[in-house]
Structure 1
Amino acid sequence: MQIREGWTSGGRTYLSVRPARKVAVTDPHEAWLIIPGEGPYTTVLMAADARVLLSVPLGDDSLAHPYSQTEFVNRLTAEPSASRSRLGYDLSFDGKGQVTRLQSLYTS
């Protein structure tokens, strides 16, 4: 998935997402080429207890580890929009369509 933007409103976190393809460029599958989707972005709500794992640094040289939803949104929006289109994420959803897990992908 691609994430164009994220924001918090009323204590909840929202993401603007669209599907993207990922193609493995290393073996084993550790690095990915993200092929942007062409359709419209859709707004999705993150579950209150959703987990955010940045497998690779976003915005600095920090180590990969879990982040709060607010910290993720802050890091995402600090990135130039042109850079965001090259980033990829794996998202998991619950039965209500809310994001329950977000993990960044290592891209080449």
Structure 2
Amino acid sequence: MLSYRHSFHAGNFADLLKHIVLVEILQHLTQKDTAFEYIDTHSGVGLYDLQSSDSQKLHEYTEGIGKLNFEEFPELSRYFDVIKSFNDSDTIKFYPGSPSIAQ
């Protein structure tokens, strides 16, 4: 049986797609007066250390979040604000998973 550990893939291009869409959907839903429930059937852990040995094995984040220049994409400012909120500087050491983004 094959196993999958997302810590090897955190911050890759697929995460960017999922999380950019997630941030925008949550932004829209929180503007409504009615409550909503958030259920993610494909989430991993809440926060990934991009300097961990798992992340460093494949370096997939370098082709995802590591490749995006925040200044070039002002339309993604909400997403970038979420990423920045988990890091102390402009260097991205931690990448939030869906559970952290949804909080």
TM-score (norm 2): 0.29
Higher RCO by CA contacts (8 Å cutoff, separation 6 or greater): 2
Higher helix proportion: 2
TM-score (norm 1): 0.29
**Structure number with bigger Rg:** 2
Higher strand proportion: 1
